[in-house]
Amino acid sequence: MNGHGDAITAAEDEPPVLDWHQEIAAMKPVDEQFPDGKYPVGQCETYYIPGKDERIASDRESSQEKKALDSSFEEMYQDYRRSAEVHRQVRNYVKSWVKPGMTMIEICERLEACSRHLIKENGLDAGLAFPTGCSLNHVAAHYTPNNGDTTVLQYGDVCKIDYGVHVRGRLIDSAFTLHFDPRYDNLVNAVKEATNAGIREAGIDVRLCDLGETIEEVMTSHEVELDGRTYTVKPIRNLNGHSIGQYRIHAGKTVPIVKGGDQTKMEENEVYAIETFGSTGKGYVHDDMECSHYMKNFELSEEHIPLRLARSKALLNTIDKNFGTLAFCRRWVDRLGESKYLMALKDLCDKGIVDPYPPLCDVKGCYTAQWEHTLVLRPTCKEVLSRGDDY
| CA atoms of 390 and 7, how far apart (whole Å) | 13
Q: Give residue 304's pLDDT.
A: 79
H/E run at residue 370: strand 368-377
Judge whether 250 lies within some domain. yes
pLDDT reading at 15 higher than 70: no
Spatial separation of the C-alpha atoms in residues 380 and 67, rounded to whole Å: 6
Give residue-wise pLDDT tens across range 205-240. 999 999 999 999 999 999 999 999 999 999 999 999
Task: Return mean pLDDT, the chain.
Answer: 95
Asked if residue 206 and residue 87 are part of one domain, the reply reads yes
Q: Where on the phi/psi map is residue 67: left (φ > 0), alpha (ψ -120 to 50), or beta?
A: alpha
Tell whether 371 is covered by a domain: yes
CA distance 293 to 288: 12
Per-residue confidence (pLDDT) for residue 29, from 0 to 100: 99
pLDDT for the residue 239: 99
Task: Mark whether 137 and 199 lie in a shared domain.
Answer: yes
Q: In this structure, are 304 and 279 located in the same domain?
A: no
**Closest by Cα among 355, 351, 357 to 304:** 351
Output the CA angle 338-26-384, nearest 5 degrees: 80
Cα–Cα nearest to 146, from 312, 347, 341, 322: 341
Q: How far are the Cα atoms of 67, 120, 141 from residue 236, in angstroms, in the given order? A: 38, 36, 11
Residue 20 lies in a domain: no
**Amino acid symbol at 9:** T
Q: Which residue has the higher pLDDT, 389 or 61?
A: 389
Has 223 been labeled as part of a binding site? Answer: no
Q: What is the CATH number of the domain that holds 343?
A: 1.10.10.10
142 is in an annotated binding site: yes
Strands (E), 138-169: 139-141, 158-167
- Based on the fold, state whether residues 311 and 243 are members of the same structural domain: no
250 has binding-site annotation: yes
User: Could you tell me if residue 160 is inside a domain?
Assistant: yes
Residue type for position 132: T
Which stretches does DSSP call E strand in 180-334? 223-226, 229-232, 234-235, 241-244, 254-255, 271-279, 286-287, 293-296, 328-329
Distance CA 253, CA 241 (A): 9
Residues 6+ apart with CB under 8 A from 351: 305, 307
Could you tell me if 48 and 165 lie in one domain? yes
The annotation status of 288 as a binding-site residue, yes or no, is no
H or E element in which residue 136 lies: strand 126-136
Query: Does residue 54 have a known ligand-binding role?
Result: no
- Domain assignment of residue 389, yes or no: no
The answer to the question of residue 203 being in a domain is yes
Q: Is the pLDDT of residue 1 over 80?
A: no
Give the range of the structural domain holding residue 238, as residue numbers without chain letter.
Answer: 42-283+363-384
Give the pLDDT confidence score for residue 18 in this predicted structure.
73
Are residues 150 and 167 both part of a single domain? Answer: yes
CA torsion, ordered 135, 137, 139, 144, to nearest 10 deg: -20
Residue 305 pLDDT exceeds 90: no
pLDDT in tens, 106-144: 999 999 999 999 999 999 999 999 999 999 999 999 999
Q: Is residue 37 in a domain?
A: no
pLDDT of residue 54: 66
In the predicted model, is pLDDT for residue 340 greater than 80?
Answer: yes
276 lies in the same domain as 348: no
Residues 257 and 310 in one domain: no
To the nearest 5 percent, what fractions of the chain are helix, strand and coil? Answer: 30, 25, 45
Is 3 domain-assigned? no
Pairing label, strands 271-279, 293-296: unpaired
Q: What percent of the chain has pLDDT over 70?
A: 95
Q: Is the pLDDT of residue 2 over 60?
A: no
Tell me which residue of 257, 113, 115 sits closest to 174, measured CA to CA. Answer: 115
Element (H, E) at 199: helix 185-201
Tell me 156's DSSP state. Answer: T
> Is 201 annotated as belonging to a binding site?
no
Q: How far apart are CA 162 and CA 142, in angstroms?
A: 9
Same domain, 313 and 213: no
Element (H, E) at 134: strand 126-136
pLDDT band for position 300 (50/70/90)?
confident
pLDDT of residue 3: 47
Same domain, 209 and 334: no
Rounded distance between C-alpha atoms, residue 25 and residue 33, angstroms: 14
In this structure, are 90 and 179 located in the same domain?
Answer: yes
Number of domains in the chain: 2
Does one domain contain both 232 and 322?
A: no
Q: What is the DSSP string of 4-49?
A: TSPPPPPPP-PPPSS-HHHHHHTSPPHHHHSTTS-PPP-EEE--B-
Active site residues: 162, 173, 242, 250, 275, 372
pLDDT in tens, 344-376: 999 999 999 999 999 999 999 999 999 999 999
Query: Is 4 annotated to bind ligand?
Result: no
User: How high is the pLDDT of residue 176?
Assistant: 99
Specify the CATH number for the domain of residue 206. 3.90.230.10
**pLDDT at residue 17 above 80?**
no
* Interior/surface letters 285-318, b for 16+ CB within 10 angstroms, e for the rest: beeeeebbbbbbbbeeeeeeeebeeeebeebbeb
